[in-house]
Amino acid sequence: MKEILTLAFARAVFVEFLSTLIFVFIGLGSALKWPSALPSILQIALAFGLAIGTLVQAFGHISGAHINPAITIAFFVGNQISLLRTLLYVLAQLVGAIAGAGILYGVTPANTRGNLAINALNNNITPGQALVVEIILTFQLAACIFASTDNRRSGVGSPALSIGLSVTVGHLVGIYFTGCSMNPARSFGPAVVTRRFSPAHWVSLGGAGDRDGSPSATPRHGQGHLPPAQAAPSPVQPGLGHLQRWTSAVVPSEHH
């Protein structure tokens, strides 16, 4: 309990808030669908990876630069940090994510912000499949962080670079499935700001439910930060097309 009274502890909690704010702002900002140029998978993956690497390099010596509730909890389970630090770190990360998403929402034109790159299920992925993907991607990130920051190892290179590459690799794969979360705060921030909670949001928190918490078997298409050209079309679109053609053939037009 004494650590909460120290300036170093307060700085660490604030840094978790600030670094998560910056990370969410940059990451989500890279996935916005500007009319002049849609983002590519590589662009988004590099933005998330470079952002996390930069922030780890800048703030790692102050708080450890977790920037991710999943990583903070992993450090707690590994007996690396106290329960109090865990709770305050997670709170700071969630608030920082909301702040970062809120700032991005405020500075982005309405015709560009869209759904603010919230996580969503793509390409007919079920919540169960998405959960497995997120577990694997988050595990490889946690393993990379623990390995690259292990003081018992020598010559491991730059932890910031390793962690940044781990996040990049995760996004190169995960975007096609869920938009790639690997970070509950990253999913929570834009969902709160836009008030849109997709099945993929609950997957990132370890579940597989829709907004009301019930299981969802119908993935939502065209969401997340998968570019439209690579997102699966809605299954109702072909039916609507047939209906429109049938209606135009049966009902004569009033204009000649």
Over residues 163-177, the pLDDT tens digits come to 999 999 999 999 999
pLDDT at 232 over 50: no
Q: What is the DSSP letter of 232?
A: P
CB 38 within 8 A of CB 228: yes
DSSP calls for 84-123: HHHHHHHHHHHHHHHHHHHHHHHHS-HHHHTTTT-----T
pLDDT at 48 over 50: yes
pLDDT at 1 over 90: no
pLDDT at 157 over 90: no
- Looking at residues 5-26, what average pLDDT do you find? 96
Task: Read off the pTM.
Answer: 0.78
* Average pLDDT over all residues of the chain: 81
Over residues 93-128, the pLDDT tens digits come to 999 999 999 999 999 999 898 889 888 887 888 888
Query: Residue 201's pLDDT is what?
Result: 65
| C-alpha pair distances (Å), 78 with each of 3, 156, 158, 239 | 19, 20, 22, 52
Confidence of residue 16 (pLDDT cuts 50, 70, 90): very high
Q: Alpha-carbon distance 65 to 75, whole Å?
A: 12
- Looking at residues 36-54, what average pLDDT do you find? 94
Q: Alpha-carbon distance 186 to 207, whole Å?
A: 16
Confidence of residue 207 (pLDDT cuts 50, 70, 90): very low
Q: Which residue has the higher pLDDT, 140 or 38?
A: 140
Task: Kindly give, in sequence order, each residue whose CB lies less than 8 Å from that of residue 181, ignoring residues fewer than 6 positions away.
Answer: 119, 134, 174, 187, 200, 203, 204
Angle (CA) 138-91-87 rounded to 5° is 80
Query: Residue 238's pLDDT is what?
Result: 41
Q: Alpha-carbon distance 72 to 93, whole Å?
A: 10
Closest CA to 53 of 166, 150, 187: 166
CB 19 within 8 A of CB 65: yes
